[in-house]
Structures are given as C-alpha cells and as structure tokens.
C-alpha cells in the first residue's frame, strides 16, 4: 500500500528542488515513489500541475511505434505512423496514473498565490536515511496532509517544519 504525502511551500523553486532530491534518493534505492507532482499557483491564482512524466508524449511515442509497425504490414507506413501517434497521444492525455488530478487541483486552489505543493505517493521508504537527506529543506515546508503513521508524520514534520534533522 502506498502513502500520500503533501508538503506546501511559499515558493515554486523549493518544491521542484525537493522533488529533484527525492528522485535522486530513488536512484539510490532509498525511496520508491509511484508519483511525484509539483502543483503551483501563479500570481493570478491559476493552478498548474507539473507531472514527473508526460503521458501524452509517452502515448504518442508508443502509438507511433505500433502504428508504423501495422502500417508496414498493410503497405502504408506513413498513415499508420500518423494514426498511431494521434491515438497514442489521445490515450496518454486521457490517462491518469498515480495521484488524482482533481484532488491535486482542489488542494492547489487553497495555496497562496506564488506558492506550491509537492504531492508524493510513496511505495517504500528507508525513513531515517531519507529524513536525513531532506534536512536541507528544514523550515522551508509545511506538511499539509499525509497517510503516514502518526510517528512517521511527526518525524517528517520535525525535519521540514521545525528544522530538527535529528528526529527519525
């Protein structure tokens, strides 16, 4: 079962920096994330989701390959490529994996203008090592919502909100 963690920030850069740090920790096998999305609210109040992966582009790539392959079999590779890319892009745009987009937009509407939130869906984590690495973000974020245990949530709050890197 995955756990959801939502952390808010006063600016956009810190959310992107924290996501980049989590991706680095994932490459070191300290955390396994299902999804990591930065939600920003600009000065005019418009909420934007910054997904880690572009499903539309991925769908177009996959659709292009299969369309080209089918097109070669039926002696019209260009038509197959175009139809495959279009249908793949449409399927990718309509897909929603990970955290529900409507949920993120609804919470994003509660952000202050110029603020951001990082939504992370975590499968597995080596808690003490990840918290130690996230200590550079002490005092910069506020834990808005989690599905973590009370003990784990308190440790995360201590690192991000109070700046106490020794809590784990």
Would the CA dihedral through 156, 157, 158, 162 be positive or negative? positive
In this structure, the number of other CB atoms found within 10 A of the CB of residue 68 comes to 19
Please give the pLDDT value at position 80: 63
Residues near 29 by Cβ (< 8 Å), separated by ≥ 6? Answer: none
- What the block records as the tokens of 74 is 């039926």
Whether 54 shows a pLDDT value over 50: the answer reads no
Tell me the pLDDT tens digit for each residue of 115-129.
999 999 888 988 889
Whether 46 shows a pLDDT value over 90: the answer reads yes
Whether 163 shows a pLDDT value over 50: the answer reads no
Tell me the pLDDT tens digit for each residue of 74-116.
766 666 666 666 666 555 555 455 688 888 899 999 999 999 9
The angle formed by the CA atoms of residues 93, 52 and 48, to the nearest 5 degrees, is 70
What is the pLDDT confidence band of residue 148, given thresholds at 50, 70 and 90? confident
| From the candidate CATH numbers 2.170.130, 2.30.30, 3.40.1520, 3.30.1890, the one assigned to the domain spanning 3-53+98-160 | 3.40.1520
134 burial class (0-12, 13-18, 19+ CB within 10 angstroms)?
buried
Q: Name the strand (E) or helix (H) holding 16.
A: helix 12-27
- Domain range summary for the chain, segments of one domain joined by +: 3-53+98-160, 55-94
81 close to 89: Cβ distance less than 8 angstroms: no
113 close to 44: Cβ distance less than 8 angstroms: yes
């Amino acid at each position: 079962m995955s756990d959801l963690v939502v952390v808010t920030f006063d600016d956009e850069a810190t959310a992107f920096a924290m996501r980049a740090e989590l991706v680095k920790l994932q490459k070191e096998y300290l955390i396994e994330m299902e999804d990591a999305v930065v939600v920003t609210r600009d000065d005019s109040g418009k909420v934007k989701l910054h997904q880690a992966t572009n499903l539309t582009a991925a769908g177009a790539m996959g659709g292009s390959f299969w369309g080209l392959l089918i097109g070669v079999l039926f002696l019209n590779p260009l038509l197959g490529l175009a139809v495959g890319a279009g249908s793949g892009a449409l399927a990718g745009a309509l897909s929603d994996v990970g955290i529900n987009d409507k949920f993120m937009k609804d919470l994003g509407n509660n952000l202050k203008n110029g603020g951001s939130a990082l939504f992370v869906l975590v499968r597995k984590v080596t808690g003490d090592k990840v918290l130690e690495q996230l200590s550079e973000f002490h005092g910069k974020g506020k834990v808005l919502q989690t599905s973590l245990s009370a003990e784990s949530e308190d440790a995360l709050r201590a690192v991000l909100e109070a700046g106490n890197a020794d809590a784990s």
